[in-house]
Amino acid sequence: MATAAAAHPITFWDITPAPGGCPFAQRAWLALEELGVPYDHKLADPQNKPKEFTDLYASIVQNTDDSAKVPTIIDGEIKLTESLVVVEYLDAKYGGDSPILPQDPGQLAKVKLFAELFTSKFQSLFFKILRAGSDDEVAQLKQDFAHNLEVLNNFIKISGSSEGGSYFLGSRYSYAETVTTPFLRRALVTLPHFKRVDPLEIAKSKGLDRLVDWIQASLDRDSNKKTGPSDEDIIESFKKFIT
């Protein structure tokens, strides 16, 4: 099955001050880049959202009281929001012979489970550490984080593949990387800077080689390098989370 071509560039709403500044929006941006879908990248100031954007969001969720969020897209007559919904829609329509979501039911289940584990074992601890108010709390959370990194390493080894590459599915980049890389990158930038906790160094010190390889492969991906803000912009945007 050939990849469907978009009749017109997809309208992709993101936020200022830097494109990809929102990790949820970056998920959609990664999918657009990976799938080679043409798009018109529009930016909304979160403090002064354009009426065009707020009206669009309200028309999707059918509620003018909800705060308009990104990513929000327009693809012809289809209007969508919420990052995972947008990624899965784009993949279903434009994935063709090289989809982000595996077509094999077993692989599909495993990459989705990995994304869920990443959210609970990595992403949640990431924000807890940033908000920790004392050195003792950081130290305890760091221990919990180290354990969770070991869980992720073992899951990749058992449920993923190492054939031909270092992505979750070996040589094949997939949804496992698309939906996690924005949060992975932010953690690797902000935790050492604000809390002296370095996830990559923890993984290396514990000999979590499969996880280390996965982290490096995810960060080295061209689509990751093209999308998202600079390290400096990430640090600035995360100051509001620091206790």
Residue 75 pLDDT > 80, yes or no? yes
Mean pLDDT of the residues in the chain: 94
Lowest mean pLDDT among 1-10, 69-78, 114-123, 206-215: 1-10
Burial of 213 (0-12, 13-18, 19+ CB in 10 A): middle
76 vs 1, 9, 13, 136, CA distance in Å?
Answer: 21, 9, 15, 53
Residue 157 pLDDT > 50, yes or no? yes
Residue 6 pLDDT > 70, yes or no? no
Which residues make beta-bridge pairs with 15? 44
**243 in Cβ contact with 132 (< 8 Å):** yes
- In the prediction, which pLDDT does 2 show? 42
Percent of the chain scoring above 90 in pLDDT: 87
The model's pTM is 0.94
